Structure 1
Amino acid sequence: MVENRWFTVTKLDEKTFAISEYGHWENVHSYLLLGTKQAALIDTGLGIDNIKRITDKLTNLPVTVITTHVHWDHIGCHGEYERIYVHEAEKDWLTDGIKGLPIEQIRKDVSHGITKPVPDTFDPESYTPYTGKPTDVLADGDIIEIGSRPLVIYHTPGHSPGHICIFDAAHGYLFTGDLLYTGAPIYAFYPTTDPADLIRSFEKVSQIEDVEKVFGGHHQLGLDPSILQEARSAAHGLKERNLARHGTGIHEFKNIKVQF
Structure 2
Amino acid sequence: MTARIEHLVTSGTFALDGGVWDVDNNVWLVGDDETVLVIDAAHDAAAIEKAVAGRRLVAIVCTHAHNDHIDAAPELAKRTGAPVLLHPAERQLWDQTHPGVAPDRELTDGQVLSVAGVELTVLHTPGHSPGGVCLYAPALGTVFTGDTLFQGGPGATGRSFSDFPTIIGSIRDRLLSLPPETVVRTGHGDTTTIGAEAPALEDWIARGH
The TM-score with structure 1 as length reference comes to 0.66
Tell me the matched-pair count.
193
The Cα of 1:78 is off from its aligned counterpart by: 0.4
One-letter identity of the residue aligned with 2:157:
A
1 CA distance for matches of 2:37 and 2:180?
Answer: 21
2:29 is paired with a residue whose SS is strand
User: Which residue of structure 2 aligns with residue 31 of structure 1?
Assistant: 28
1:213 is aligned, of 140, 158, 183, to 183
* Structure 2 residue 51 is matched with structure 1 residue 55: yes
Flag the structure with larger Rg.
Answer: 1
Could you say if the C-alpha distance between residues 231 and 217 of structure 1 is closer, same or farther in structure 2, counting changes exceeding 3 Å? farther
User: Which residue of structure 2 aligns with residue 253 of structure 1?
Assistant: none
The Cα of 1:88 is off from its aligned counterpart by: 1.9
1 CA distance for matches of 2:200 and 2:64?
Answer: 20
One-letter identity of the residue aligned with 1:52:
I
Q: Percent identity?
A: 23
Could you say if the C-alpha distance between residues 26 and 234 of structure 1 is closer, same or farther in structure 2, counting changes exceeding 3 Å? farther
> What is the 5 A alignment of 1:209-248?
209=179, 211-220=181-190, 222-230=191-199, 232-239=201-208, 244=209
Is contact 1:202–1:231 with CA below 8 Å preserved after alignment? Answer: no
1:62 is paired with a residue whose SS is strand
> What is the 5 A alignment of 1:106-255?
129-131=97-99, 132-182=101-151, 186-204=155-173, 205-209=175-179, 211-220=181-190, 222-230=191-199, 232-239=201-208, 244=209
User: Which residue of structure 1 aligns with residue 19 of structure 2?
Assistant: none
2 CA distance for matches of 1:136 and 1:217?
Answer: 21
1:54 is paired with a residue whose SS is helix
The Cα of 1:237 is off from its aligned counterpart by: 4.1
Is contact 1:67–1:86 with CA below 8 Å preserved after alignment? Answer: yes
2 CA distance for matches of 1:18 and 1:150?
Answer: 18
2:46 is paired with a residue whose SS is coil
User: Which residue of structure 1 aligns with residue 6 of structure 2?
Assistant: 17
1:78 is aligned, of 73, 77, 92, to 73
Could you say if the C-alpha distance between residues 235 and 36 of structure 1 is closer, same or farther in structure 2, counting changes exceeding 3 Å? farther
The TM-score with structure 2 as length reference comes to 0.80
Is contact 1:203–1:235 with CA below 8 Å preserved after alignment? Answer: no
Is contact 2:25–2:187 with CA below 8 Å preserved after alignment? Answer: yes
The Cα of 1:185 is off from its aligned counterpart by: 7.5
**TM-superposition CA deviations, 1:66-118 (whole Å, max 9, x none):** 10000011012101213010112113432x22xxxxxxxxxxxxxxxxxxxxx
Could you say if the C-alpha distance between residues 218 and 37 of structure 1 is closer, same or farther in structure 2, counting changes exceeding 3 Å? same
The Cα of 1:147 is off from its aligned counterpart by: 3.7
Could you say if the C-alpha distance between residues 184 and 20 of structure 1 is closer, same or farther in structure 2, counting changes exceeding 3 Å? farther
CA RMSD in angstroms comes to 2.6
Is contact 1:200–1:235 with CA below 8 Å preserved after alignment? Answer: no
- What 5-or-longer segments of structure 2 have no aligned partner? 14-21
User: Which residue of structure 1 aligns with residue 41 of structure 2?
Assistant: 44
